[in-house]
Amino acid sequence: MLVKMSTKRELEVGILGVGTMGTGIAQVFALHGITARIYDTNYDQVLKVKEKIENSFDIMREAGIISGMQATGALNRVQEVKELKNAVAGVGLVLEAIPEIVDLKIKLFEQVDSLCDPRTILASNTSGLSITKLGKATKRPGRVIGMHWWNPPMIIPVIEIVRGEQTDEETVETVRDIVNKVGKVPVVVQKDIPGFLGNRLQYALMREAIALLNEGVASAEDIDTMVKAGIGFKFPVMGPLETIDLAGIDVYHRVSGYLNKSLDDSKETPAIVEEMVRNEELGLKKGKGFYDYTGVDVNELTSGRMKKLMVLLKDLGYVP
């Protein structure tokens, strides 16, 4: 393996970018005994990471997922780094979590490739950009891989492991081992296609939801309720293909024969979304999106959602 998990020297990771994703990812690694060196071009943001992680740990302690001793030990394994070279020197894995702008990522991969050990794995948390393209920006395309975490990364169990065209098998297996080590669930995406696996499934559902809203079939609240209390309620236990097997392939064949013709298959961004962007109705961060958040305590709302997700996490057996 490229990164030995049982050597005397513990695995260290360099995490580049300390937004929501980078911060949560650092938290997970640290909680599982792995030193996380955190770097960002804005060092002031780096210095705020531990406070954010501590706040998240408070919620996890209240939910009974971790102890105070585990939280303290994890915080000590988060290392703030001011220089990029110090974030990547000698680590077994570098994981970038910078904005989804391909040119920025390519430039970063070029830099990191020249700064770290030639056997270090370079991973991207991109949710859909080409891993192959990022690999070509380096002299080690076989050791470049997608490692896509889901938001919030400290809670959502799955991580997509995405092969670029030149990613070698040893790199895939090493990253799979790392994913297992940090208590997450690995899913290997065998083809480097836009959106990978999770976002293609998610965006197909969101496209249909927006189309139904736009056509006046149901309100935003009822559409979301249909997913949360209906089809989405069983998806944590049975995926879509398992659901088809349960109903019967013949039933799916019969229904899809007429229903597929009516499903939304638009190739462009929905007009309703274009209009909302023009009006800066961008969701929670602007106080209005498909819902009006006027007078809503956003911190209380997101904290409440996290607590519900943690209950689900425990009930489904993803944590001890």
Q: What is the pLDDT of residues 137-191, one digit of tens each?
A: 999 999 999 999 999 999 999 999 999 999 999 999 999 999 999 999 999 999 9
Quick count: other Cβ atoms within 10 Å of Cβ 206?
14
CA 33 distance to own-chain centroid: 20
- Catalytic annotation, residues: 127, 148, 160, 199
The residue written with tokens 């296609």 in the block is 193
Conformation bin of residue 319: beta by default, left when phi > 0, alpha when psi is -120 to 50: beta
Q: What are the start and end residues of each CATH 3.40.50.720 domain in the chain? A: 12-189
The overall pTM is greater than 0.75: yes
Q: Which residue has the higher pLDDT, 23 or 319?
A: 23
12-189: what CATH class?
alpha beta
CA–CA distances in Å: residue 54 to residues 48, 70, 81, 256:
10, 11, 18, 48
Residue (of 123, 138, 114) closest to 93 by Cα position: 123
Confidence grade of residue 6 (pLDDT, cut at 50, 70, 90): very low
- For 216-264, how does the pLDDT look when each residue is reduced to its tens digit (9 = 90+)? 999 999 999 999 999 999 999 999 999 999 999 999 999 999 999 999 9
| CATH code of the domain occupying 198-315 | 1.10.1040.10
Mean pLDDT for the chain overall: 94
Q: How far apart (Å, rounded) are the C-alpha atoms in residues 90 and 9? A: 11
Q: Residues 91, 13: contact at Cβ < 8 Å?
A: yes
In this prediction, residue 319 carries a pLDDT of 84
Confidence grade of residue 320 (pLDDT, cut at 50, 70, 90): confident
Confidence grade of residue 49 (pLDDT, cut at 50, 70, 90): very high
What is the average per-residue pLDDT within 58-81?
A: 94
In this prediction, residue 136 carries a pLDDT of 97
Q: Residues 1, 173: contact at Cβ < 8 Å?
A: yes
CA–CA distances in Å: residue 315 to residues 149, 174, 308:
21, 29, 11
Q: What are the start and end residues of each CATH 1.10.1040.10 domain in the chain? A: 198-315
Q: Which residue has the higher pLDDT, 36 or 3?
A: 36
Q: 3-state DSSP call for residue 5?
A: coil
pLDDT higher than threshold 60 for residue 2: no
Q: How far apart (Å, rounded) are the C-alpha atoms in residues 308 and 316? A: 12
Q: How far apart (Å, rounded) are the C-alpha atoms in residues 57 and 152? A: 13
Q: Residues 313, 155: contact at Cβ < 8 Å?
A: yes
